[in-house]
Structure 1
Amino acid sequence: MGLAIGILRFRLFEVEYWWFKSWLWLLGGCVVVLVDMLLIGLLNTPQLYALGLSVVLTGFLYFPLRQWLLGKLMPLENQTLQDFLARFSTSLAQADSPEAFEQGWQALLQARFAPQHLTLQAATLIQPQLEGNGLSLRVPALTTDFVYQLSGKQMASRLFSKADIKTVTALLDIAQMARNASDAREQAVREEREHLLHDLNATVGAKLRRLADDLLEAQHREATEEALQALDTTVQLSLQDDPFSLQAHLQAWQTETAHRTAAAAVQLDWQVADDLEQGELAPKQAVELTQFLREAVTNALKHAQPSRLIVRFAREAGSLQVSISNDGKIQPPETWQAGTGMGGMAARIRTLHGELHIQHLVQQGYVRLDAAIPLLGAA
């Protein structure tokens, strides 16, 4: 009768927890009565002492057994929010981007409720809510306009309850505060970086401009102009956080390289594979590749004095392949003395987690630089 009234009053998913607790309470009372009867009937213990002994024995045997049984049948319900906060805070502390926060939030929901199914749906939800009489739990994602659908708590062995709503609401508040604090910190760092880069461009750029105007020799003036151009490009690219179109950069690199080779009376053979039209570059990749290409072209025009320069871009196994060849005055690479140019190019490619190789194609009469860097989004 009590369970029937509970179903009508509290709905099924509320009765489940109280049903189990009620049977434990009933079992505890029966154990006390049974021990009391055994002491009186079998051991002829006086009634004055039998009740006290039965309570003592039950307390030492039944209650530890009850707690062990609760931990086995309902392990997550036994774990308080304070017990879970240590793991929760560790996961949030390791997140360094919105994507990492979202992945951490999803992993924590998986660990806390062990659902049979967890899916991400496009929807708007402010607070967690129950569905299907406790069969499912909908939880807002940290990213707006998305919701996590958790179905089958503890691998479909339990039902979600209002207590789970309170728990996940508290965890969601903490996760949102941590992400907001991270966003505020990143915004402060970004603003400080922009301020420093603008100051750098204003002070160093102005000095380079005055120096270029005062220099008499064309060679020195050209070197100063290149330094000023490198500074402007680095500042502009560093101030942008979104990915760049690879196609747009390829066109800009071609225009700049064509202008430099034409001024040096060198024929330019520019080759770009068709599958690079939809690629993207991270800001750091754009900065380092721009400087790498400039240094490679400068070394070829300055030291080799070629009649032809070949620049080729292709995609291979998720990497961007860059090859720069020239037919100038060539010495075997093993006899080269690596200076600032070669060291700088190698360092830039290493920064992008790529590889740089030099080949001496004797039969063709070319020296070729081959660089490979992982493209944005490649595994």
Structure 2
Amino acid sequence: MAAARDAGLTPAAAVDAAAPHDSASSGFASAPAAQADSLERGIVAARWLGWRRRGLVVLALLGCVGLFTLLRMLSASPHIDAAWRSNASGELVLDSAGDPALRAHLGQTLAGVVLADGSLLPPEVLLARRSPRWVVDDTLRQQQLAYGSAYAGALREGAVRLKFAQARVPIEARTVPRGYAGLGSVFWLMTALALVFYLTGAVVVLVQPDERNLLFGLTAVAQTTHLLLIGLDTLPGFDFPARMASLDLWLRVSCDIVTGAASVHALSVFPRRLPHQGPIALASWAVGIAFIVTVAFNPVPGLWWWTQGLQLSYFAAGWLLLVWSYRLTPHPMAIVMRRLSLAVFGILLLLTLSVALSQGNSDLQRFAAGPGSLIWYVFQASALMLVPFLSRSQHVMREFTLLAGISAVATSLDLLFVAVMPMSQFTSHTLALFLALGLYAGARQWMLNLLMGSNMLTTERMFEGLYRTAREIETSAGDHTEHFARLLGDLFEPLELGHATRSAPATRVVGDGSTMLVPLPRLPGVADDLQPRGSLVLRFARRGRSMFTREDARLTDRVLEQLVRAVAFDRAVEQGRNEERARIAQDLHDDIGARLLTLMYKAQSPEMEDYLRHTLQDLKTLTRGLAASSHLLSHTGAEWKADIAQRLDAAHCELDWSFDFDRDVNLSVVQWSALTRMLRELINNVIVHARAGRASVSARYHRGRFTLRVSDDGAGRRPETWAHGLGLGGIRKRVKLLGGEVHWRENDTRGIRCEIEVPELGERG
């Protein structure tokens, strides 16, 4: 679709260009040619799937090999076979040990680790999380890196000297390989999550290896690396793999910057390619790569501040690009991703403020670098992984992202409360938990609506559209495509709605949720040459504020299915009505007509014979009208004139008749019956109640609008005071049945005139 837009094609033309060739459009093709064409398409499809399947297998194997290599390295890394816990004072206490030399000191407090040069490594360093990425102070970060390097060197020696507060001399603890069982359950969970994100990125890249998907794959690799590094932080004990200690800080900073730069680059080409996209992408990568190289070779003063500021700048720039993109083209993906990026920016800003305000509190620093950063990275990764599936039914992914976001907010609020307000950690935990739960309960649906766009479709509105469309199809002739288009346009309010001549195999959502293709269904009881053909192309739902989803496609199928059923039911009901009318007309003709004819021949006076003759004529008109399924407007007008002239002549009332129409249309039985009975009732009022000497009847049909005016010079006055009995009430009901309006007014001289207007009469072509 993007290529079609670049080429200047309409949505319908784009679908025609991309739609698969069907047999209906090539009726003159021979069977062997059609089979060869089908075979060729099958070979192309097999090749298209073949190399992608092989590529996915290769990438999956590479990921598994890399993960297995990491697991082998971790399982072979030296480890003190002991479990530690923190007491109420924040000191490390030996809880259990597999080393016999340590079992004698169970329950004792660790004073530190004696290094090779005799210096004592304090337990506060061991309590700190391994990664220095979230340490704000540069001095503390360098000190933690130095201590970590020294402790890693002690582990490589095969023995670590531990100094307990209750012991006079250090205890030498032997190191053993950690093994797979010593990696911990949280590490396995983070590893599985990282593998899922890696494979998701691989699938997205292989489905369509274009620029934006390659950038998404790069972001997926960065988030996978983040999750693996977080998994290393969760290893039991305070041992950290020596090979990773020197790379941890640089890897985390690089992944953060790569994620930001790739996001800006991707948002400059999607949902639409922005003007000056090249310089924008080049600038984002130039700044990011320069910062990564600087961190790799030189210590950067204020590293944490620079990293956080650069991350926030990337997210803010991405939000501005989405605002610009939506102004140029109101793509629903732009507004959805704008809301998502705003949520990510807000949570990162809140976490940054919380960590910055917690300086000087070692407990808060450990919490921020541990659980705080873990929850943030899980939320960021899940939010990024959510983007390819926004237009699909991925409820679990959306809920997981929402929960991760609420957890990140709760963690940031907890840090903020402890850092700013004089309250205990238990109080801050409880308050942050209740606020987060309240935020989740109160804002869950609102946040999902922000992500997906609020759905304004209601049951009442849907059934109203179904009923109206079924009536339009029933009363109209010709192509019914416009009726389907009007129904779907009212339901989804697209910015663009077009018609493609080739039919899609099924209703589906394309273009990342911007477009929905709807094949037109066959209608029962409609000739083949009048059946709607092709597909409807809907783009930019809710006036560009929402995306089409798979739920919308399923809803569309159900709505069209119900519409076809409603049309079939209406046609069956109408057929039953016609049969019943024909039966009644036949009974009236055979029974009542025969009796009236007998009475006419036996009439004892000319007046009675004339009255019965006119009654027979009225009965003939009535039965013919009931038996016919439709009536030409010109024939109906002639019948009206003959009937009215005869009745007014008998009442010694003159008639002024005027009938004008621009097109001779067929009236349905309902329309013919309603108009005939209304006109007879109005003429009856002229004769009986007005006692007029002249009546004027003017009928006009122009562009589908029918206007009827009946005027007299009788004694009628002040029609607004009339009591509407069966006669006038029946006229109002019949006019309402036809969808028109009726008014009675006084003439300028004398008498009353009745004006009836029906906006749509007859079959619409």
What band does the TM-score fall into relative to the shorter chain?
Answer: 0.5 to 0.7
Q: What TM-score does the superposition give when structure 1 sets the normalisation length?
A: 0.65
Structure 1 position 27, deviation (Å): 0.4
Structure 1 position 100, deviation (Å): 5.8
Contact 1:32–1:55 (CA under 8 A) maintained in structure 2: no
Structure 1 position 56, deviation (Å): 8.2
Structure 1's 357 and 196: CA in aligned 2 closer, same or farther, altered over 3 A? Answer: same
User: 1:75 matched to which residue of 2?
Assistant: 390
User: 1:235 matched to which residue of 2?
Assistant: 626
Q: Which is worse superposed, 145-154 or 295-304?
A: 145-154
Contact 2:743–2:754 (CA under 8 A) maintained in structure 1: yes
CA RMSD across the alignment: 5.4
- Which among 627, 644, 656 is matched to residue 269 of structure 1? 656
Alignment of 1:155-174 (within 5 A): 174=558
User: 1:32 matched to which residue of 2?
Assistant: 228
Structure 1 position 31, deviation (Å): 3.5
Structure 1 position 375, deviation (Å): 2.0
User: 1:293 matched to which residue of 2?
Assistant: 679
Structure 1's 79 and 211: CA in aligned 2 closer, same or farther, altered over 3 A? Answer: farther
User: 2:616 matched to which residue of 1?
Assistant: 225
User: 1:193 matched to which residue of 2?
Assistant: 577
User: 1:103 matched to which residue of 2?
Assistant: 486
- Tell me, in whole angstroms, the C-alpha distance in 1 between the residues paired with 2:537 and 2:710: 52
Percentage of pairs with the same residue = 17
Structure 1's 102 and 79: CA in aligned 2 closer, same or farther, altered over 3 A? Answer: farther
Contact 1:282–1:376 (CA under 8 A) maintained in structure 2: no
Structure 1's 36 and 336: CA in aligned 2 closer, same or farther, altered over 3 A? Answer: closer
User: 1:119 matched to which residue of 2?
Assistant: 498
Counterpart of 1:287 in 2: which secondary structure?
A: helix
The one-letter code of the counterpart of 1:189 is: V
Q: Deviations over 1:309-337 (max 9, x none)?
A: 22123579996443223345x36467988
User: 2:312 matched to which residue of 1?
Assistant: none
Structure 1's 255 and 126: CA in aligned 2 closer, same or farther, altered over 3 A? Answer: farther
Q: Deviations over 1:89-121 (max 9, x none)?
A: 95765513156654344556x57xx7x643224
Contact 2:205–2:214 (CA under 8 A) maintained in structure 1: no
Q: Deviations over 1:135-155 (max 9, x none)?
A: 977542346224323568999
- Tell me, in whole angstroms, the C-alpha distance in 2 between the residues paired with 1:169 and 1:286: 41
Q: Residue 46 in 1 paired to residue 239 in 2? A: yes
Q: How many residue pairs get matched? A: 347
- Tell me, in whole angstroms, the C-alpha distance in 2 between the residues paired with 1:263 and 1:29: 100
- Tell me, in whole angstroms, the C-alpha distance in 2 between the residues paired with 1:373 and 1:325: 15
Counterpart of 1:356 in 2: which secondary structure?
A: strand
The one-letter code of the counterpart of 2:626 is: V
Structure 1 position 296, deviation (Å): 1.9
Contact 2:695–2:712 (CA under 8 A) maintained in structure 1: yes
Contact 2:705–2:761 (CA under 8 A) maintained in structure 1: no
Q: Which has the higher strand share?
A: 1
Contact 2:653–2:693 (CA under 8 A) maintained in structure 1: yes
Alignment of 1:177-192 (within 5 A): 177-192=561-576
Structure 1 position 230, deviation (Å): 6.2
Contact 2:223–2:381 (CA under 8 A) maintained in structure 1: no
Alignment of 1:203-352 (within 5 A): 203-215=587-599, 216=603, 217-218=608-609, 221=612, 224-225=615-616, 228-229=619-620, 231-232=622-623, 235-236=626-627, 239-240=629-630, 246-262=633-649, 266-272=653-659, 276-278=661-663, 283=668, 284-302=670-688, 306-314=692-700, 320-327=706-713, 330=715, 332=717, 340-352=726-738
User: 2:183 matched to which residue of 1?
Assistant: none
- Tell me, in whole angstroms, the C-alpha distance in 2 between the residues paired with 1:7 and 1:350: 57
Structure 1 position 376, deviation (Å): 0.5
Contact 1:70–1:78 (CA under 8 A) maintained in structure 2: no
Gaps of 5+ in 1: none
Q: Deviations over 1:284-330 (max 9, x none)?
A: 443222111122223334555544322123579996443223345x3
Structure 1 position 213, deviation (Å): 2.8
Counterpart of 1:76 in 2: which secondary structure?
A: coil
- Tell me, in whole angstroms, the C-alpha distance in 2 between the residues paired with 1:32 and 1:74: 23
Structure 1 position 33, deviation (Å): 0.8
Contact 1:280–1:376 (CA under 8 A) maintained in structure 2: no
Contact 2:654–2:694 (CA under 8 A) maintained in structure 1: yes
The one-letter code of the counterpart of 2:536 is: Y
Higher alpha-carbon Rg: 2
- Tell me, in whole angstroms, the C-alpha distance in 1 between the residues paired with 2:220 and 2:699: 72
- Tell me, in whole angstroms, the C-alpha distance in 2 between the residues paired with 1:152 and 1:331: 58
Counterpart of 1:253 in 2: which secondary structure?
A: helix
Structure 1's 367 and 77: CA in aligned 2 closer, same or farther, altered over 3 A? Answer: same
- Tell me, in whole angstroms, the C-alpha distance in 2 between the residues paired with 1:314 and 1:17: 63
Contact 1:333–1:360 (CA under 8 A) maintained in structure 2: no
- Tell me, in whole angstroms, the C-alpha distance in 1 between the residues paired with 2:611 and 2:678: 21
Structure 1's 357 and 66: CA in aligned 2 closer, same or farther, altered over 3 A? Answer: same
Structure 1's 234 and 63: CA in aligned 2 closer, same or farther, altered over 3 A? Answer: farther
Gaps of 5+ in 2: 1-54, 60-201, 246-366, 396-451, 474-481, 522-530
Q: What TM-score does the superposition give when structure 2 sets the normalisation length?
A: 0.36
Structure 1 position 268, deviation (Å): 2.1
